[in-house]
Amino acid sequence: MKIAKNVNNLGTELVYDIFSKTKKLESQGKKIIDLSLGQSAESPPEHVIEATIKALRDGNNGYTVPNGILECREAVSRKIQKLYNAKVSPDRIFIMPGGKPTMHYAISFFGEPGTEIIYPDPGFPIYESMINYTGAKPVPYNLTDANNFNINVEKILSSVNDKTRLFIINNPHNPTGSFAEKSVIDKLAAGLSKFPNLAILSDEIYGRLIFEKKDFPTFLNYPDLYDRLIVLDGWSKTYAMTGWRLGWGIWPEKLLNKMFKFCVNNHSCVNAAIQYGAIAALDGPDDSINNMVDKFIKRKNLMCDGLKKISGIKFTEARSGFFIFPNVKDTGMNGDQFAEKCLNEAGVALIQGTAFGKFSLDNVRINFTTSEENITQALDNIKKMLS
């Protein structure tokens, strides 16, 4: 049996390999503290759960339109207007089964042999995976420890050429926890405006989880780019709804018909009832988000204070999101070796930096959004392992 060559080009998320190993060790009776997954220990707001249950009881259990029910798209539009004072028509909004489909579809729209796509490295691994799948050339821009994982606008713009079809940015950034402020995004947007044929995918899934009193510089602040801008966002991280598989994408008007067809051919529609829960999340109070961010700041500080006391680990403090991305080279191990040792000897599940790109051989990703008890115990276990 022969399969298409591009299927062999697909990568994966090593987090699921670690998750499988973790479950196997737990089945053998070993206690594992999981700091690997891209989700928090929080639960969705109660009013969101109740709205979803009500929707089921009201009979919302059939197909919906492929781009999402109008009420949900209108709720996204209202929230964007409230948060960013940006006007986005519900017609341009697609409710999606998670964040990955927007990545998949955007990269599929622009990637093919002979083209190039610029993406962050380290970065969410599905960017590179999908670029390789399309046959396009992946062109990484490197985020380094030495520069606190900040983006270099000049280097990004210098990578653009006649073959470049798509530029991908993830801000705030997974896996490093870095955050590009408005002045940086202003400069980047101004530079990108000089390349009118270049599409932009802005992954803003962590945009509400910033640990400083700073406004989030969404690309929706730059209407001159709307004709080639795709924005990825959703409910997973902000409302602790990762398992609900629910996100949204904002698309240029000239691509709406093609995007509609892609949805029809791929996923048909999004679960009906959870779209009503999604409306409740967006239209309801933000107390749960504010409380969650306060908890994350406290847990992040606890993690950072503990890591400072462990010899051989250096890190840039996270400014957003779920993760810290320490460099462990001075322990005498690279990231792969360190993560394996932590899992098998310390009972702590981490993700090696190479899961996020070739430039992060000496890093590991640590999720600090678990309980304070788990953080304290994990730090103690790692410290003992290295002593």
24: Cβ–Cβ under 8 A, 6 or more apart, which residues? none
Checking if the pLDDT of 222 tops 90, the result is yes
Q: How many CB atoms lie within 10 A of CB 276?
A: 22
Q: What is the pLDDT of residues 108-163, one digit of tens each?
A: 999 999 999 999 999 999 999 999 999 999 999 999 988 999 999 999 999 999 99
| Residue 325 and residue 292 in contact, taking contact as beta carbons nearer than 8 Å | no
Instruction: Average the pLDDT over each of 18-27, 87-96, 225-234, 299-308 and give the range with the smallest value.
Output: 18-27
Q: Decide the pairing of beta strands 93-96 and 247-250.
A: antiparallel
List the domain boundaries for the chain: 5-44+287-386, 61-283
Q: What is the model's pLDDT at position 13?
A: 86
Checking if the pLDDT of 69 tops 90, the result is yes
Q: What is the CATH number of domain 5-44+287-386?
A: 3.90.1150.10
Q: What is the model's pLDDT at position 87?
A: 97
Instruction: Work out the percent of the chain whose per-residue pLDDT is above 70.
Output: 100
Q: What is the pLDDT of residues 31-49, one digit of tens each?
A: 999 999 888 889 999 999 9
Q: What is the model's pLDDT at position 213?
A: 85
> What are φ and ψ of residue 262, in 5° steps?
-60, -45
One-letter amino acid identity for 246? L
CA proximity to 386, closest of 329, 312, 316: 312
pLDDT mean over 84-102: 97
Q: What is the model's pLDDT at position 138?
A: 98
Q: What is the model's pLDDT at position 26?
A: 86
pTM for this one?
A: 0.96
CA proximity to 235, closest of 172, 196, 277: 277
Q: What is the model's pLDDT at position 25?
A: 85
CATH of 61-283, one of 3.20.20.80, 3.40.50.150, 3.40.640.10, 2.40.50.140: 3.40.640.10
Q: Quick one: tokens of 308?
A: 């400072």
Q: What is the model's pLDDT at position 14?
A: 85
